[in-house]
Structure 1
Amino acid sequence: MSRFNFTTANIPSLTGKVALVTGGNSGIGEVAVQELARAGAKVYVSGRSQQRVAAAIARVKLIVPDASLESLIVDFSLISDSIAGARKFLNFEDRLDILVANAGIASVPASLTAEGWEIMFATNHLGHFAFVTTLLPLLKQTSQNSNVRVVITSSALYLRSGAIDYEDLRTAESGLHGNVAVIKSIMKRYSRSKLANVQFAVGLSEKIKDYKNIFVNVVHPGVVSTNITNNPSDLGWAIKKIVFLVQAVAALSAADGSKTILFAATDERIVKQNIKGKLINPSSNYFSVKDVVVVDPNEEGSNQEHIDKLWATSEEAVKQIEQS
């Protein structure tokens, strides 16, 4: 375990660099966009809604008037749209220095996407797998003359997930009655998707280990007061009240929650100490950020057999969409 003091004052000049932040239209993603732009990077703000992305860009420019910002509209719940969004970016830019895979959903009702995958796993993992791997040739190209960072946002709740049941990813739970059953379902599906984030990061870091200038890491931002838990009314008033109380009483601000992302994306100590395939946590996993702490993922997060299974499943899912 390594501990580092980190504030936005540690961010070096990013002039000439290109960054892309998924889920950059709100919360910790928006703060990351703001600070990357403040340091001089050209930043692409990715989200599902053109209106919300435009509003986020306007907010950032109020704080950083000379920010160089562009929009990239992608629905990460769909592999097809994730691939299309990445290809669109490839038409815009000839380099990508910083890629933050941060978009995600949390307490949503159980359902399948139009492509037939459980919605949290699809949005939080499969869409980003398709997006990142489509951009990988550009990341490799950029690394020939520059250090490249890939940051994948996970959660400490990945620790609550056992090995991924791949049969369960193609079925929607039904017949859930009562708030306890719904909460258990949400926790199971969310923690599973966050484990996939960790395994993806560890696997990606290993697969591109010959590219010495690419630094892939996964981060836990802490419990953050953001809109990731904003959901349809059918979640029930009790669940919404619990989420609201936790966020109101104990959650981090988006600025504090973005620290692990910004450390992984910008801090020069990542390169100096060759930090790759690691999990970066706030110093106190919940409710406060004094420093950031770099650790190895747990046994399940780094289980090579299970990482290989995730990659094979994800690659096949992408292949099926590309051939359809």
Structure 2
Amino acid sequence: MSTTQWNDEDIPDQRGRLAVITGANTGLGLETAWALAAHGASVVLAVRDIDRGKHAAARIAEAVPGANLTVQRLDLASLDSIRAAADALRAQCDRIDLLINNAGVMYTPKQTTQDGFEMQLGTNHLGHFALTGLLLDRMLPVQGSRVVTLSSNGHRMQAQIHFDDLQWEQSYSRVGAYGQSKLANLMFTYELQRRLADAGAPAIAVAAHPGFANTELSRYSPAFVKLLSKLPMMAQSPQMGSLPTLRAATDPDVRGGRYYGPGGFMETRGYPKPAESSKQSHDQAVQQRLWAVSEQLTDVKFPV
């Protein structure tokens, strides 16, 4: 296995493993689902739009004969939808090997989720927090199971957890709200890993980021960012952007609490390597406070 140019050819045999991937109908999620299915995993595409999910599954099935694919409706901006999806998955699945918290929104205009959360925090962090908590007991007994949550270099941009105005009701910054949500993804991963380790569980929590990838995530970005995302010398393909996630999910050498991203220029592109997150992301007191607030807001309690 190459350590400097880890790619999808390095993915171990995934037969017998079940992966649930949020936002798997496009971009990074689609590439992740495609690669895991090609290596034998059963894959659940958890998506907001069922028709787009079915189209994505059909594309994978055409390229990967015999792929075991399921489409599950999931709207991360609705706790009712998250609970319904978790109930359906729990009814279908005795075990889950991989939960890949991939879906997300970026730089949205000021708006709220069905439950009144700021859209970026509600979708990127609180939705995945709730889903993970509701599915975790299907992972705890499974040797080698992993929760992989996507963060971003954006966790460094104007980023802190604004406990005094968590939902950005007093003022709103698209960039600041996105940075907060991506910082929350990392803090969630680190606190979850600590809880899993303390419980002696065989499951681990890992984070990843794609660098600068050309995906639909940039739809609300400024025009110059959209332009840059179309330039191959600036932004990498969704396939390359998915590699940090795939390494975090499948590399047997990965340990809990690690963070993976592109190893090239400023972590914007390149093959996946261990990455360092901000000093702020490792603040355990803030991690624990965020966890408590997230449990309160979602009314989801974790089994660890």
State whether TM-score is above 0.5.
yes
Q: How far 1:79 sits from its partner (Å)?
A: 2.4
CA contact (8 A) 2:159 2:176 kept: no
Structure 1 equivalent of residue 196 of structure 2: 208
Structure 2 equivalent of residue 182 of structure 1: none
Q: Any stretches of 5+ residues in structure 2 without a counterpart?
A: none
Question: What pairs with 1:144-293 in structure 2 (closer than 5 Å)?
Answer: 146-172=143-169, 185-209=173-197, 210-231=199-220, 240-249=222-231, 250-270=234-254, 275-284=255-264, 285-290=266-271, 292-293=272-273
Alignment of 1:298 onto 2:287: no
CA contact (8 A) 2:150 2:208 kept: yes
Q: How far 1:161 sits from its partner (Å)?
A: 3.9
Task: Tell which deviates more after alignment, 210-219 or 46-55.
Answer: 210-219
Question: What pairs with 1:87-98 in structure 2 (closer than 5 Å)?
Answer: 87-98=87-98
Q: How far 1:220 sits from its partner (Å)?
A: 1.0
CA contact (8 A) 1:222 1:257 kept: yes
Aligned equivalents of 2:121, 2:278: Cα separation in 1: 20
Alignment RMSD (CA, Å)? 1.9
**Number of aligned residues:** 295
Distance 1:200 1:161, change over 3 A: farther
Distance 1:62 1:293, change over 3 A: same
CA contact (8 A) 2:168 2:177 kept: no
Aligned-residue identity in percent: 30
Q: Which has the higher contact order (CA 8 A, sep 6+)?
A: 1
Question: What SS class does the counterpart of residue 288 from structure 1 fall into?
Answer: coil
Question: What pairs with 1:301-320 in structure 2 (closer than 5 Å)?
Answer: 301-319=281-299
Aligned equivalents of 1:167, 1:71: Cα separation in 2: 39
Question: What SS class does the counterpart of residue 269 from structure 1 fall into?
Answer: coil
- Opposite residue 241 of structure 1, the aligned amino acid is A
Distance 1:173 1:4, change over 3 A: farther
Aligned equivalents of 1:320, 1:268: Cα separation in 2: 30
Aligned equivalents of 1:33, 1:228: Cα separation in 2: 17
Q: Which whole-Å deviations, capped at 9, do the CAs of 1:170-194 have from their partners, x for residues lacking one?
A: 34467x8xxxxxxxx2111111100
Aligned equivalents of 1:311, 1:93: Cα separation in 2: 27
Structure 2 equivalent of residue 22 of structure 1: 22
Question: What SS class does the counterpart of residue 72 from structure 2 fall into?
Answer: strand
CA contact (8 A) 2:30 2:56 kept: yes
Distance 1:294 1:76, change over 3 A: same
- Opposite residue 270 of structure 2, the aligned amino acid is V
Q: How far 1:251 sits from its partner (Å)?
A: 1.0
Structure 2 equivalent of residue 57 of structure 1: 57
Q: What TM-score comes out, normalization by structure 1 length?
A: 0.86
Aligned equivalents of 2:180, 2:60: Cα separation in 1: 33
CA contact (8 A) 2:94 2:138 kept: yes
Q: What TM-score comes out, normalization by structure 2 length?
A: 0.92
Q: Which whole-Å deviations, capped at 9, do the CAs of 1:138-196 have from their partners, x for residues lacking one?
A: 1102x2xx31111100001101244311232334467x8xxxxxxxx211111110000
- Opposite residue 91 of structure 2, the aligned amino acid is N
